[in-house]
Amino acid sequence: MNPRIDHWRGRRVWLIGASTGIGAATARLLLSRGARVAISARKKAALEALTGESPFAMVLPLDVLDHAALLCARDTIIAAWGGVDLVLLLAGGYNEMRADSIDLAAAEAMIDLNVRGAYRCLDAVLPQLLKQGAGGIGIVASVAGYGGLPKALVYGPTKAALINLTECLYLDLHAKGIAVYQVNPGFVDTPLTADNDFKMPCLTTADAAALAMVEGIERGEFHIHFPKRFTFGLRLARLLPYRLYFWLIHKVTGL
């Protein structure tokens, strides 16, 4: 559904949300394969430690909610490299929440980061991609966006919004020569999941997640999800009638 990528040498990649977890692992992987990688996140020290002295890396600290900072970073990349071949939005937040313990401030902060942050990034990068008539954009959502889950009262709906967003983007951008990638990881061992107090089926490492995502992009996939033995089960569950779906989720999670 997207063009295949047979090498990364010299390709210009901007990773937004790359100081830890999948973003940091993806930065290391792409740099090792010869890509030019711009990395953004709020933690400047973590970004600098990640890239070291690599001549192919560019550190651009920012907050995805700061629209002016996003525009400035985009302009810096274009001035240095003349364009961008791939933008990957990995920034996002996670908080457990259930209906009997709604925290409005935390809910609004997660919606701002996970959804409004994505739109701010799109506003910064889409004009350049459309001007080029080439390149691609990927958004990391989550399998939590496939259907309702316990403890995901806000996180799940924000990821469902990103899934829908990437589908809309594909419909609008494919004919214009711009690739779109929807990335739905399962449970990944990162700082975001470190405090989970429940069993995380098929937990994978950030390095394995980065490799699965990059290989999916290389193959030109639109819907990149992993680990397959877990994500296929969730996708099939969504085909069940609601009565069976709710029963299955309760049985599997114990919640």
Per residue in 112-163, pLDDT (tens digit) is 999 999 999 999 999 999 999 999 999 999 999 999 999 999 999 999 999 9
- Whether 190 shows a pLDDT value over 80: the answer reads no
Active site residue 146: no
**Spatial CA neighbour of 14 closest among 83, 68, 99, 103:** 83
At 197 the pLDDT is: 61
Q: How confident is the model at residue 111 (pLDDT cuts 50, 70, 90)?
A: very high
Element (H, E) at 12: strand 12-16
C-alpha 133/C-alpha 218 separation (Å) is 19
The answer to whether residue 198 scores a pLDDT higher than 70 is no
| Pairing of the two strands 204-205 and 223-226 | unpaired
pLDDT at 127: 97
pLDDT score at 187: 79
pLDDT of residue 200: 65
- Please say whether the beta carbons of 217 and 26 come within 8 A: no
For residue 228, pLDDT beyond 80: yes
What local confidence, expressed as pLDDT, does residue 236 receive?
A: 94
pLDDT score, position 195: 66
* pTM for this entry: 0.93
Q: Evaluate if residue 192 carries a pLDDT over 80.
A: no
Q: 113 in the Ramachandran plot: left (φ > 0), alpha (ψ -120 to 50) or beta?
A: alpha
* Mean pLDDT of the residues in the chain: 94
Q: Indicate which residue of 94, 146, 155, 181 is catalytic.
A: 155
pLDDT attached to residue 10: 95
pLDDT digits (tens, 9 = 90+) for 34-81: 999 999 999 999 999 998 889 999 999 999 999 999 999 999 999 999
- Is the pLDDT confidence value at 108 over 70? yes
Q: Which domains does the chain have, with CATH numbers?
A: 12-253 (3.40.50.720)
The answer to whether 216 and 111 are in contact (CB under 8 A) is no
pLDDT number for residue 204: 85
Nearest to 3 by CA among 180, 126, 171, 212: 180
Has residue 110 got a pLDDT over 80? yes
- pLDDT, position 254: 82
Distance, in Å, from the CA atom of 115 to the CA atom of 177, rounded to the nearest integer, reads 25
Residue predicted with more confidence, 200 or 44:
44
- Beta-carbon contacts of residue 2 (< 8 Å; ≥ 6 apart): 136, 174, 179, 180, 181, 217, 220, 221, 222
Least confident segment among 110-114, 228-232, 250-254: 250-254
